[in-house]
Structure 1
Amino acid sequence: MRIVIQRVTQAAVEIEGTVKGQIGLGLLLLAGFTADDTEEDLKWMAGKVAGLRIFSDTEDKMNLSIKDVNGEVLVISQFTLYASTKKGNRPSYIYAAPPAVAVPLYERFVELMEQALGKPVQTGEFGADMKVSLRNDGPVTIVMDTKQKDLF
């Protein structure tokens, strides 16, 4: 599982002109999955994201987690996080999980994020043509991958 974490003051996702999910202060998570992702990968990622201290405290130091600031989360599926640009100019997505595998992984990750936060999480719609808007705060953008846990 690969994820892009963006600290935001606001974010929203529209599908065919209708807002599907919307948050204020919190995290926009762009999540991609591979066919070999496991329950343990999902649990690790949800726990890590929920505990990341990337929000500012009263001294303007990044010491607070999403839970500490009672922030919101918007999770968007994004298979393009597994784009391979090794050959040519047209990306290949052979490493991204097919929908039959990715949808249950995405739905389970959302459940685990809700459990970790103790409240509902906003989402997009898997496979839909989504228009995502955000106001990145900081900017703070972090990329994590369960296949590279030693780096995170």
Structure 2
Amino acid sequence: MRIIIQRVSHASVTIEGNTKSAIKTGYMILLGIEERDSSEDVDWLVKKVIGLRVFDDDNGVMNRSIIDVEGDILVISQFTLFASYKKGNRPSWLRAACHDISIPLYEEFCQKLSTALGRQVGTGEFGADMKVELLNDGPVTIFMDTHNKE
């Protein structure tokens, strides 16, 4: 699994002209899933996301977590995080998991994240044409890959 976390002042996702989800201060997360991913990857990512300390404390130091600031989270499925661009100029998406694998893992990630956060996370709609708007705060953007834990 791969995620891109962006610390945001606000974010929203619109589908066919209707706002599906909107958040204020928190994280906008793009989530990519490949076929070898499992519930273990979900658990590792949820723990990292909840514990990540990238919000400023009273001294202006990034020392507070999403729980500490009572922030919101918006999760958007993003199969393009597994783009292969090695050959030619048109990316291949062969590494991205099929719907039978990715939808259950996406839903599991959102559910476990909601439980850990203590409230519902915002979501997009899997496979829909989504328009995502956000104001990246900082900017702070972090990439995580469960198969390359740095």
TMscore range, shorter length: over 0.9
Whichever residue aligns with residue 65 of structure 1, its letter is S
Identify the residue that residue 59 of structure 1 maps to in structure 2. Answer: 59
Structure-2 separation of matches of 1:29 and 1:140: 12
Runs of 4+ in 1 over 6 A off after TM superposition: none
Cα deviation code 1:102-139 (max 9, x no counterpart): 00010000011011111110000000000000000000
Calculate percent identity across the aligned residue pairs. Answer: 57
Cα deviation code 1:66-107 (max 9, x no counterpart): 000000000000000000000000000000001111000100
Identify the residue that residue 97 of structure 1 maps to in structure 2. Answer: 97
DSSP-derived class of the 1:70 partner: coil
Structure-2 separation of matches of 1:127 and 1:100: 12
Cα deviation code 1:32-90 (max 9, x no counterpart): 00111111110000110010000000100000000000000000000000000000000
Identify the residue that residue 122 of structure 2 maps to in structure 1. Answer: 122
Whichever residue aligns with residue 147 of structure 2, its letter is K
Identify the residue that residue 77 of structure 1 maps to in structure 2. Answer: 77
1:2 is the counterpart of 2:13:
no
Whichever residue aligns with residue 55 of structure 2, its letter is F
State the TM-score, normalized to the length of structure 1. 0.98
Structure-1 separation of matches of 2:100 and 2:44: 22
Structure-2 separation of matches of 1:27 and 1:93: 25
